[in-house]
């Protein structure tokens, strides 16, 4: 057991001064206030941030889809570029890319990542010799980097709401329901203190309703996180209306037992009723502001959702940016640009945008990850972030402005040290194995360069 002390620690109710806590078997435990601490961590300590949505392989194509191919470029033309890139990634490349990504996540202050994983099979659609090879590559990458993982093997069966077959480049995503449940069962047997397994339904356009029902009835998800891409593009809202006679969120709320196990990723296009419906269900709205901006998706109705006490979390999705600060900043900035007002994301407990967003994303991210995270309290996994109190931005800051300064003061990374499950992964801003992992990443990218 090791005990720590910090000047301030961020707790669900706000900053707590002169905090002491211990870490035992990878979890926080309380200690007597007066006990001497083995180590003083620094002035500002935060719980680590969960990243609730990741397609790890996409990290390696950041910057490769920013050239206009057609004046009508959109999410759907980006997807073609992404599919072409995905076709070059096998298990070794996936592990190398994911490990590099997870190093970058840790250095930015994320301590858990939810992998929405659908790149299951060989490019021609045949399973690998070990059908779980790609899932295992992600588990190995997370273990090497030291980040917590919520692995969400993804069910993907159709190429559209009309039930059409998967396209050629989608074949490696697909499973018959039985094969999918076998994969899920196997992965669930690998759960540990840092690996949680849930499920993802890729989207309503990729999962027929009977298959969704079979997964929900399998007994394998009763206590597990369930994620789905829900209403990112107007085109899918229109297709859903045409073929299921309801908008995506409306259909899901009416046809699935949506509750706190669920995360609705890209709940972008919502009616007021759908917004209130998600909030009332307890499901997490999974928001990925930098990717949603990059793909031209649209803006989530943040103010209305917070007014309805909705639960939200953040993800870096396509990893066009790997920074919780930038996700939260753009979540707020989108609303400011649209409404021409300032300081939108506030709550009854705090008038600070930084405090509201950081606190909400910790809470919702932990729910989405299905893990005991998001607070420095007895029993929670010992994940924390120590900020660089020597950085000029943080000099002379009092607690009232600290998280606002962290989120809104520019681009120098203020994360100094990061612990996951009691282990230091990042010290003085650098991951413990950054060099080796970066070298292997470089070799992998050279193999698959276009």
Q: Which residues bind ligand NGQ (CB under 6 A)?
A: 55, 79, 203, 229, 232, 291, 295, 317-318
Question: Which C-beta is closer to ligand NGQ: that of 262 or that of 363?
Answer: 262
Please, where are the H alpha helices in 160-247?
177-188, 209-216, 234-244
Helix (H) or strand (E) holding 288: none
Q: Is 140 exposed, middle or buried (0-12, 13-18, 19+ CB in 10 A)?
A: middle
d(CA 313, CA 265) in angstroms, rounded, equals 9
d(CA 400, CA 291) in angstroms, rounded, equals 30
Q: Tell me the closest approach of the beta carbon of residue 296 to ligand NGQ, in angstroms.
A: 11
314 and 326 Cβ atoms separated by less than 8 Å: no
Question: Which C-beta is closer to ligand NGQ: that of 107 or that of 327?
Answer: 327
| Residue 74: CB atoms within 10 Å | 13
Q: Tell me the closest approach of the beta carbon of residue 320 to ligand NGQ, in angstroms.
A: 10
Question: Which C-beta is closer to ligand NGQ: that of 194 or that of 233?
Answer: 233
* Of the candidates 78, 81, 83, 119, the residue with the CA atom closest to the CA atom of residue 98: 119
Find the helix packing angle between 399-408 and 324-339, rounded to 10°.
90
Q: Tell me the closest approach of the beta carbon of residue 57 to ligand NGQ, in angstroms.
A: 9
d(CA 194, CA 149) in angstroms, rounded, equals 6
Question: Which C-beta is closer to ligand NGQ: that of 205 or that of 416?
Answer: 205
Question: Which C-beta is closer to ligand NGQ: that of 196 or that of 227?
Answer: 227
Question: Which C-beta is closer to ligand NGQ: that of 202 or that of 367?
Answer: 202
Question: Which C-beta is closer to ligand NGQ: that of 169 or that of 440?
Answer: 169
Question: Which C-beta is closer to ligand NGQ: that of 167 or that of 351?
Answer: 167
Q: Which residue is nearest to ligand NGQ (CB)?
A: 55
Q: Is 273 exposed, middle or buried (0-12, 13-18, 19+ CB in 10 A)?
A: exposed
Backbone angles phi, psi at 416, to 5 degrees: -105, -55
| Residue 351: CB atoms within 10 Å | 11
Contacting residues for 281 by C-beta, under 8 A, at least 6 apart: 253, 258, 259, 260, 262
d(CA 207, CA 213) in angstroms, rounded, equals 10
297 and 334 Cβ atoms separated by less than 8 Å: no
Backbone angles phi, psi at 19, to 5 degrees: -95, 140
Q: Tell me the closest approach of the beta carbon of residue 190 to ligand NGQ, in angstroms.
A: 23
d(CA 298, CA 120) in angstroms, rounded, equals 29
| Residue 217: CB atoms within 10 Å | 10
d(CA 195, CA 139) in angstroms, rounded, equals 8
* Residues belonging to the active site: 266, 317
d(CA 122, CA 94) in angstroms, rounded, equals 12
Q: Tell me the closest approach of the beta carbon of residue 93 to ligand NGQ, in angstroms.
A: 16
Q: Tell me the closest approach of the beta carbon of residue 79 to ligand NGQ, in angstroms.
A: 5
Q: Tell me the closest approach of the beta carbon of residue 172 to ligand NGQ, in angstroms.
A: 13
Q: Tell me the closest approach of the beta carbon of residue 293 to ligand NGQ, in angstroms.
A: 11
* Strand bridging mode 262-265 / 284-287: parallel
Distance spanning both ends of the chain, measured CA to CA: 50
């Amino acid at each position: 057991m090791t005990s720590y002390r910090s000047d301030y620690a961020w707790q669900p109710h706000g900053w707590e001064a002169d905090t002491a806590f211990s870490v035992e078997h990878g979890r926080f435990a309380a200690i007597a206030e007066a006990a001497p601490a083995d180590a003083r961590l620094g002035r500002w300590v935060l719980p680590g941030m969960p990243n609730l949505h990741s397609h790890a392989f996409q990290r390696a194509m950041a910057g490769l889809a920013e050239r206009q191919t057609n004046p009508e470029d959109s999410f759907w033309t980006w997807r073609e570029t992404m599919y072409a890139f995905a076709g070059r990634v096998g298990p070794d490349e996936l592990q190398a890319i994911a490990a590099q990504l997870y190093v970058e996540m840790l250095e930015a202050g994320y301590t858990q990542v939810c992998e929405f994983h659908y790149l299951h099979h060989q490019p021609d659609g045949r399973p690998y010799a070990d059908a779980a090879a790609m899932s295992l590559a992600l588990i190995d990458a997370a273990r090497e980097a030291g980040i917590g993982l919520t692995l969400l093997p993804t069910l993907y069966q159709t190429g559209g709401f009309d039930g059409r077959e998967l396209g050629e480049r989608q074949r490696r995503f697909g499973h018959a329901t039985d094969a999918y449940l076998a994969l899920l069962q196997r992965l669930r047997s690998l759960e540990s203190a840092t690996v949680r397994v849930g499920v993802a339904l890729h989207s309503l356009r990729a999962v027929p309703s009977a298959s969704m029902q079979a997964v929900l009835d399998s007994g394998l998800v009763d206590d597990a996180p369930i994620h789905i891409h829900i209403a990112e593009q107007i085109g899918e809202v229109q297709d859903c209306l045409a073929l299921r006679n309801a908008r995506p969120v409306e259909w899901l709320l009416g046809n699935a037992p949506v509750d706190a196990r669920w995360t609705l990723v890209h709940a972008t296009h919502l009616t007021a009723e759908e917004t209130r419906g998600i909030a009332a269900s307890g499901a997490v709205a999974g928001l990925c502001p930098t990717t949603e901006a990059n793909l031209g998706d649209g803006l989530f109705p943040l103010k209305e959702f917070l007014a309805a006490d909705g639960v939200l979390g953040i993800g870096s999705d396509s990893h066009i940016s790997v920074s919780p600060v930038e996700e939260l900043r753009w979540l707020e900035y989108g609303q400011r640009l649209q409404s021409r007002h300032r300081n939108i994301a506030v709550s009854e407990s705090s008038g600070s945008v930084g405090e509201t967003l950081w606190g909400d994303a910790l809470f919702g991210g932990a729910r989405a990850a299905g893990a005991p995270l998001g607070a420095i309290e007895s029993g929670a996994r010992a994940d924390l972030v120590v900020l660089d109190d020597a950085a000029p931005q943080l000099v002379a800051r009092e607690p009232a402005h600290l998280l606002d300064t962290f989120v809104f003061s520019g681009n120098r990374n203020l994360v100094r040290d990061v612990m996951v499950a009691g282990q230091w992964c990042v010290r003085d801003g650098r991951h413990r194995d950054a060099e080796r992992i970066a070298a292997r990443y470089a070799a992998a990218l050279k193999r698959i360069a276009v």
